[in-house]
Chain A
C-alpha cells in the first residue's frame, strides 16, 4: 500500500523532532550564544576573517581533509574485499566475519586506541615480533606520526565502509553476473564491467560516510599522532576547553559543518544521478 506524503511525514515526525531537540537546537543555541559574545555583525565578520583567513586554520583544514582522504582510500581498499567476502560467506563463517567487524565497534574508541598503542609502540608487540624474527633491525615508527593516525582511524571507520558496501553488493542481482559469464566474460571482466559498476554507488556512499566522520576525528589523532598531526577538531577543543574562546570555536565549528554539508550535497547529487552511473 503506497504511503502518501503525509503518511511518510508522520512516520518521520518523531525522528525529526528528536533531531531538532538534541541536535539542531543545541547547535543553533551554541552558535548564537558564542557569536553573540562578539556583539555586532561587523565584529563577527572581522573575527571570522581573522580566524578563518589565518594560515593556521587553513593548514589545519588542509591537514584534516588530507588525513580523512588518505583514511578513506585505505578503508576502501581494505573494506571492499572484506565486504565481498561477507556477501559470499554462509552460516558460521558469515556470523564469524560479522562479529569480528562489529564487535570492536561496540568498544569505546579510547580503549581501542590504547590497545593499538600497545601493539604499535616502539617496544610494542608488532615491533618486538618483527625484530625477533629478524625482519627488521630497527623498530618501525608506527605511532606518534601520520602512519599511527591512519592506522587508528582506519580501524575505527572500517565497519561503516564494510556495512555500506555489503548492502550495495547484496543488492546486485546474481543473474546479471551469470549472464555476463554465460556470454564469455572472464571473471575479471565480470567484476570490472558488471559487478563493480553496480556497487559503485555503495563505494561513493561508504567513502563519503567515512570521509565525513573522518574530518571530525579528535581522540585518535590526539593520542596516536605526532606533533604536526593536528586536525581541526583538536583546535576547536582547545578553544573551548583551554581559552574559553567560544566565538572562535563557533567559527571553526561552522567550517567543519560547511565541509560536511557540502560533501553531503555532493553525495545527494551523486546518488540522484545513480541510475545513469549504475547502468
Chain B
C-alpha cells in the first residue's frame, strides 16, 4: 500500500473525528461555506463574501471539502460548515440523505425568488450559476470555421482527424449524453440514458481519445499544450485560455448546461446566517459580477440586463446559447451513477 493514497483513506476512515480546518465555534457572526476553491473562491470573495460582511457584519470563511467528506461529516453527526456551494449533484446526494435545510425564500430581502427560474429554485437548493460542457476545438487544426459543429461530427475522425479528450468517469459524469447525440438521439430524448447504446458509441470514439480528463485543470492543459485538438469540457476552462490568446474556439451547438447551486446543512451551527448569505449571493448585481469574471451563466434573470451582449454570447444558459443546449438531468445521474461507474470500469479495462 502506498503512502500516496493512505492519508486520504485514513482521513476518511477516521470518520472526520478530526476537527475541520477550524473548529466551528460558530458564533452568530460567522458563516462557513464550502466552495470549489481557486479562482472561484477569489471571485466569490470579491463579489459576495466581502460585500456581505460589509452589509451584515457576518464573516464568511471558505473551506474545501469533497462530496465524500461532506457526506461523511453528515453521517458522523459532525457538521462543521453551514453552506455548501457545489455542483448540484453533490447537493442532490445530500438532499437524498435528508441533510439539507429548507431554503427560506419567504424572507429573502436582496433577491426576488421569482427572478430565479423554478427549475433551479428548489426547496433545499438554489442555483447560483450555470456552466456548460461544450465542444472546444483548436483553430490551428480546424481554421476558418471548418471545425466539427455537432457531436456527430466530433465523432467523425475521418473528416476531423486528430487526438481528442472527453470527461473521465472520475468526474462523476462521463459524457454519455454526447455519445448518444453522436449516435443520432435527439437532445430532448436523451433521458433516461440508454447506457449500453452510449457505451457502444463511446467505443467508436475511444481510439481517438488520447486521455479522458479527470480534472478541469487537466482538460485545459491538454488543449493549451496541443496534446489534443478537440475536447468536450467545461466552457469556463476553455474561455480562460481563449482570453489569454490561445488559438481555441467553442462550438455552442449541443452544449450541456450544468448547475452550480447552494444549500445549507440542516444541522449547521449558523443556518440563519447561511440563509442570508444565499439570499445575498443570488441578487442580480452579485451574480453579474461573479458570472462576468468566471464566464458562467447567471440564474437571476435580472442579471442578464447588467451584462454586455458580447459577454452573454459566451455564457451557458444565456438567451444566446440556451436554445442550442440542454440541461443535464442530475436526478438520472444520481440514480444511475453506480451502474455507469461499473460499466465504465468494465468498458475501459475490457
Contacts and interface: CB of A to CB of B under 8 A. Distances in A.
Contacts of B311: none
Contact of A213 (B3, B210, B218, B225): B3
A98 interface: no
Interface string B1-42: 111111011101111000000000000000000000000000
Given A122-B225, A216-B4, A217-B4, A230 B9 contact: no
A69 interface: no
A90 to B, nearest CB: 33
A260 B13 CA distance: 19
B170 A222 contact: yes
A230 B225 contact: no
Interface string A124-160: 1000000000000000000110000000000000000
Contact of B349 (A59, A143, A233, A241): A59
Interface string A211-228: 011111111001101111
B321 to A, nearest CB: 29
B15 A257 contact: no
Given A29-B14, A240-B12, A242-B337, A212 B349 contact: no
B207 to A, nearest CB: 10
Given A23-B10, A33-B15, A122-B226, A144 B1 contact: no
A227 B212 CA distance: 6
Interface residue range, chain B? 35 or more
B5 A226 contact: no
A230 B345 contact: yes
A234 interface: yes
Contacts of A243: 337-338, 341
Interface stretch (B66-74, B184-192, B243-251, B287-295): B66-74
A122 B227 contact: yes
A29 B15 CA distance: 9
A219 B215 CA distance: 12
Nearest to B349: A59
Nearest to A30: B13
A233 B14 contact: no
A244 B67 contact: yes
A233 B5 contact: yes
A215 B6 CA distance: 13
A218 B2 contact: yes
A22 interface: yes
Contacts of A236: 5, 9
B350 interface: yes
A226 B211 contact: yes
Interface in A58-78: 59-60, 63
A206 to B, nearest CB: 16
B67 to A, nearest CB: 6
B67 A216 contact: no
B201 interface: no
A101 interface: no
A253 interface: yes
B12 to A, nearest CB: 6
Contacts of B66: 241
Interface in A236-263: 236-245, 253, 256-257, 260
Contacts of B64: none
Interface in B49-77: 66-68, 71
Interface string B207-223: 00111101000100100
A218 B68 contact: no
Interface in A176-220: 212-219
B337 A235 contact: no
B349 A26 contact: no
Given A242-B170, A257-B1, A227 B341 contact: no
Contacts of A213: 2-3
Contacts of B1: 212, 215-216, 256-257, 260
A27 interface: yes
A216 B349 contact: no
B330 interface: no
A237 B6 CA distance: 11
B149 interface: no
8 contacts: A27-B10, A56-B345, A122-B226, A122-B227, A215-B1, A230-B349, A242-B170, A245-B338
Closest 4 CB pairs of A and B: A216-B2, A30-B13, A59-B349, A26-B13
